[in-house]
Chains A and B, each alone.
Chain A
């Protein structure tokens, strides 16, 4: 059963991370934050302070996995990739998000 978290922003960060990893294969933490920022046309800035606790928790929950790699610049980096369980969670959180935005949009439109 997928875990849902009440904290909306936290949920959003999970969604963003999972979606990015699904699209881009494996990435390290810094790469993730840069990618999200770039893809969202600088609209979204990942709170770097929350990123690593979130990554480690998602790893504990089994949604993502990690391994150590040497980057092309010769640095040791921990790269994350999405797991099967993570994909399920992503689908779930995606749907929740869609519902939320649809709902909010309707309210904004008709009230």
Chain B
């Protein structure tokens, strides 16, 4: 048979069928004829021939199946049959598809994020050859960190580039943001300072104009900007003549030289760069022409290299180890004291797998996302158990039909296939709906975790991995909820099934065994999810209600940037106090103070401190510093415990003074009154650090994040700051509308100098944004926990209702014989309680074990919190008993006569 005619078989099943009939009939006729010839009666001969051939229908089917894609045809028939079955019960189909879509949709959405943040390789040439270069854990480095994940100073980068042999190309980049407007309120673009070779090493070519080259990144520095595709579209409307135009970055007009491809977002997953300029522009943009590159201990660069052919990350690490001492020697910051310098010289560099780039987002959310994936997985499992239960109920209704078909010779395999086809249809419909849902959900998730004004950029376009994942999900769920009912139905003994289709007084135990197990599993899993949800909600509530030590509500932070005004240091000091005076006159301003670092603001300054005459370097007392103006604690409403505030007599020339918090007093002086004591921080090489006298003690405040234990903090006076910068932050305590105050502040600034930039941030919003991850976990786990409990309640209700319906005869007899109705209700409820109890015991054990996974994400409570577990169990018990009560009440109010008559 030719291939063509084989395929033809699929489309002419009727003909194939009749041909098979003809062939087998011919066989029977011949056999009967021979038997008659040997003396048998015609009737006997026919049945003997028939017996010899065996089960005619099965024979035909087995023969048919030998014909190629006859099974394809039967698959089509099975699917058509499945569609008919589902059409006949649209309610069931709708519930099934909706619950699957929710489960698969939520799962796929989370997977999309995990995939984009953790798994996907960078959109560059051969990303698997890339390696990140970093210092080994435990390295000794002190200095100013401009990004949390910065690795190197400019000097270190310069030496690494010069000395390394492991990479065919090496690149460095530093994050920044560029202000696109001059003066007034800023509009920021995400900027990258990149080494000249950046684009060449990555293999990213320009779609328009050219990218940067090594010749752009030299001492003479012909600054040119490379735009990202979205920025080009947004700011230049995709103008093809953009190379040659200029873009204003922090007030500098920089010529645009090219545009990168649409897929290239940079090397940091979670953000999309807008503009890249060469590293050499960094000092040019600094009013003091030093920049971060010029700081001997200014950490702001990340480094990546493309491994030479044949080199591995391990070999590169070994190589970096050998060149590390030379690099450290060449880059030792001169300000380091001998103790620190000794540690620095022992530092070692290492190479890390770099194909997925860097990501602060990953660090922050990876654990939460994996946990959410587990949670949505459990929700999907519960949904599957529900569906399996529903299908079992349907299968029971169809038992007589299936029994008849088995008796007529249907093969079990075919029956299983037919029942699975129905499940497959549900799974496919659920997956298709789920994928559409996932696209919406993942966008919503990204919007959720995006801080205002700095949207998280994650490429979540569904790709092969995501599609593969959801198809795998569909297959898995189909097998999970469809296989058990299908297997069970096909193992019916036809005779028994047909008997039980008739009248029976009690329902057999075996009917319920599997369904009981399913419901118990649902209860157990939903307890775990409810427990998790309560943990996260409580943890979030703890964070919201934790006392940060200041009153964030009604506080406005205000950033003033006068870098373009080119003020001298003396002028800056005068300007600051002039501004503070103007702000305090604004209507609605209750208090105005200057501060270097607003709490929970993302930046900080810390150093080792030695009490009295102790040496700071090896004291082990790491302390955060802040610089504030007199009245700061009053403005923040932070409790003053002892001593005095800064005042006019604390001048630049007078002895240095400081105010410390309780944690500081506790750490350095064992809780004794610190007032009158002195301290020093680490000295630069060859100098002695000034000695600060403690004049005041204030209550503890949260400094870097709300989750932290109170850190020791020392506050210095702005008036004693020898080197005020070109930006200042004020905090203003407001009464009344912020809008009016903000307008007043804008006018006040503009009247001084229109080139000054100004930016507002309500402190309460800043606090909320620092809790995005916790808020995400609380919201999502709460939602999923509720969904899981509802699904479990639905499952329990279904089983109980079904059981009452099946046992209505028995219950009718009981009532007729005088059982009281309360007794009947108790009888049914006892069943529900048993199921609930079994599920909860299993669930509690599971929750106890799983709790530790959440430990690092919790605040203010232990992962194995008994009261939370008890709360979850109580909640589930109430929901479960309600679900069981309604069927029980129905059983109690059965009319015995009616119950006995109907079957």
Contacts and interface: CB of A to CB of B under 8 A. Distances in A.
Contacts of A56: 63, 66-67
A48 B52 contact: yes
A28 B26 contact: yes
A81 B31 CA distance: 21
Contact of B26 (A49, A53, A76): A76
Specify the main secondary structure of chain B where it touches its partner.
Answer: helix
Interface residues on chain B, size class: 20 to 34
B63 A75 contact: no
Contacts of A55: 63
Contacts of A30: 26-27, 30-31
A42 interface: no
Nearest to A65: B1
Interface stretch (B16-24, B141-149, B708-716): B16-24
Given A52-B24, A75-B29, A60 B1 contact: yes
Contacts of B33: 73
A105 B309 CA distance: 63
Interface centre among B27, B34, B55, by most A CB within 10 Å? B27
A99 interface: no
Given A34-B34, A48-B52, A78-B19, A60 B67 contact: yes
Interface in A13-56: 28-31, 34, 48-49, 52-53, 55-56
A57 B26 contact: no
Interface string B58-73: 0100110111100000
Interface in B1-21: 1, 6, 19
B620 interface: no
A77 interface: yes
A52 B54 CA distance: 12
A92 interface: no
Interface string B40-80: 00000000000011110001001101111000000000000
Contact of A60 (B19, B31, B52, B66): B66
Given A30-B31, A48-B52, A49-B54, A78 B66 contact: no
B1 A75 contact: no
A13 to B, nearest CB: 13
Contacts of A65: 1
A107 to B, nearest CB: 34
A48 B32 CA distance: 14
Given A53-B63, A76-B26, A59 B53 contact: no
A68 B90 CA distance: 47
Interface string B61-104: 01101111000000000000000000000000000000000000
Given A56-B63, A60-B1, A48 B26 contact: no
Contacts of B27: 28-30, 48, 52
Contact of B23 (A49, A52, A60, A73): A52
Contact of B22 (A49, A57, A60, A78): A78
A30 B49 CA distance: 11
Given A34-B34, A48-B53, A49-B59, A29 B23 contact: yes
A62 B5 CA distance: 13
Contacts of B54: 48-49
B1 A76 contact: no
Contacts of B23: 28-29, 52, 77-78
B894 to A, nearest CB: 52
A108 B474 CA distance: 56
> Most chain-A Cβ atoms within 10 A of its Cβ — which of B19, B54, B62?
B62
A69 B33 CA distance: 19
Given A49-B53, A49-B54, A60-B68, A78 B26 contact: yes
27 contacts: A28-B26, A28-B27, A28-B30, A30-B27, A30-B30, A31-B30, A34-B34, A48-B52, A48-B53, A48-B54, A49-B54, A52-B23, A52-B24, A52-B63, A53-B59, A56-B63, A56-B67, A57-B66, A59-B1, A60-B1, A60-B6, A60-B67, A62-B1, A65-B1, A75-B26, A75-B30, A78-B19
